[in-house]
């Protein structure tokens, strides 16, 4: 299974056509962007989107059959998506998120609350689980390390070197804030960054075995 996480609509359709992922997560998507992409992503028969208080949300596209809904209590700004994919008769939980930008104490507390909710979700699911999205936190953060410890998740980027995803306009200062976290029953074949697609983030692509 190949996963793609990107954050901007520009050049997205062409990038998708080249990479041909099985599952796509787009963040900060407007209704206009979603409508514009619909005709160019018809190969993804299964889709679910959210819309928050700022008019943007997440868009999840899948080749695999999927049941999806909003994760209660996560965020009114950009609601998270809790989905179950049916991949060759195996159920895989997929949690798609975009946490709060930690600018100032209150926003940082909100992001940390959202990360704690991810940990709660992971502990409640014993089967294959993948958490995707812009977590707005570096791999070296104590908060992220605590999340990994309590949730029994691991970073899909582990073992694939340093791969900063943001900001694309200042590479020497880049950090990885876009993540895929996986449970023990999910194998990771590869983790890499894609080319620029018009966003201030680089897309990430993950090949998983479930």
Residue 163 has pLDDT above 90, yes or no: yes
Mean local confidence (pLDDT), 81-93:
96
Q: Is 3 a residue whose pLDDT tops 70?
A: no
Give pLDDT tens digits for 127-153. 999 999 999 999 999 999 999 999 999
Query: What percentage of residues in the chain have a pLDDT greater than 70?
Result: 95
Kindly report the pTM of this predicted structure: 0.94
Give the pLDDT of residue 76: 96
Burial of 80: CB neighbours in 10 Å, binned 0-12, 13-18, 19+: buried
> By mean pLDDT, which of 82-96, 143-157, 186-200 is the weakest?
186-200
Please name the helix (run of DSSP H) or strand (run of DSSP E) that holds residue 62, with its range, or none. Answer: strand 56-62
| One-letter-per-residue 3-state SS of 27-48 | EEEEHHHHHHHHCCCCCCCEEE
Nearest in space to 45 (alpha carbons), one of 90, 86, 97, 8: 86
Q: Residue 95 sits in a domain of what CATH number?
A: 3.60.10.10
pLDDT score at 39: 85
Q: How confident is the model at residue 10 (pLDDT cuts 50, 70, 90)?
A: low
Mean pLDDT of 11-31: 92
**What is the extent of the structural domain holding 123?**
2-209
In the prediction, which pLDDT does 47 show? 97
d(CA 174, CA 195): 15
- pLDDT in the model for residue 199: 84
pLDDT above 80: residue 210 = yes
CB-based burial, 22-60: b 16+ in 10 Å, e otherwise: bbbbbbbbeeebbeebeeebeebebbbbbbeeeebbbbb
> Count of H helices and E strands in the chain?
4, 12
pLDDT at 168: 87
Q: Which of 27, 11, 43 is nearest to 195 (CA)?
A: 11
Number of folded domains that form the chain = 1
Residue 2 in this model has a pLDDT that exceeds 80: no
Band of pLDDT at residue 7, cut at 50, 70 and 90? low
pLDDT for 1 equals 65
In 3D, which of 148, 107, 114 has the Cα closest to residue 129?
148
pLDDT at 46: 98
Q: How far is it, in rounded angstroms, from Cα 132 to Cα 155?
A: 10
- The pair phi, psi for residue 44, each rounded to 5°, is -100, 95
């Amino acid at each position: 299974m190949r996963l793609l996480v990107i954050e901007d609509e520009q050049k997205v359709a062409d990038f998708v056509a080249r990479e041909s992922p099985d599952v796509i997560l787009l963040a900060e998507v407007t209704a206009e962007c979603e409508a514009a992409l619909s005709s160019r992503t018809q190969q993804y028969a299964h889709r679910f989107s959210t819309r928050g208080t700022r008019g943007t949300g997440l868009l999840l596209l899948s080749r695999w059959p999927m049941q999806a809904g909003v994760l209660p209590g996560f965020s009114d700004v950009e609601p998270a998506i809790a989905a179950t994919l049916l991949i060759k008769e195996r159920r895989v939980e997929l949690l798609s998120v975009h946490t709060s930008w930690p600018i100032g104490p209150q926003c940082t507390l909100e992001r940390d609350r959202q990360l704690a909710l991810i940990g709660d979700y992971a502990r409640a699911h014993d089967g294959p689980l993948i958490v995707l999205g812009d977590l707005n936190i570096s791999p070296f953060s104590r908060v992220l390390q605590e999340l990994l410890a309590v949730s029994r998740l691991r970073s899909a980027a582990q073992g694939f070197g340093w791969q900063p995803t943001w900001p694309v306009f200042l590479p020497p200062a880049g950090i990885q804030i876009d993540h895929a976290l996986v449970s023990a029953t999910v194998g990771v074949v590869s983790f890499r960054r894609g080319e620029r697609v018009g966003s201030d983030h680089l897309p990430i692509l993950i090949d998983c075995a479930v």
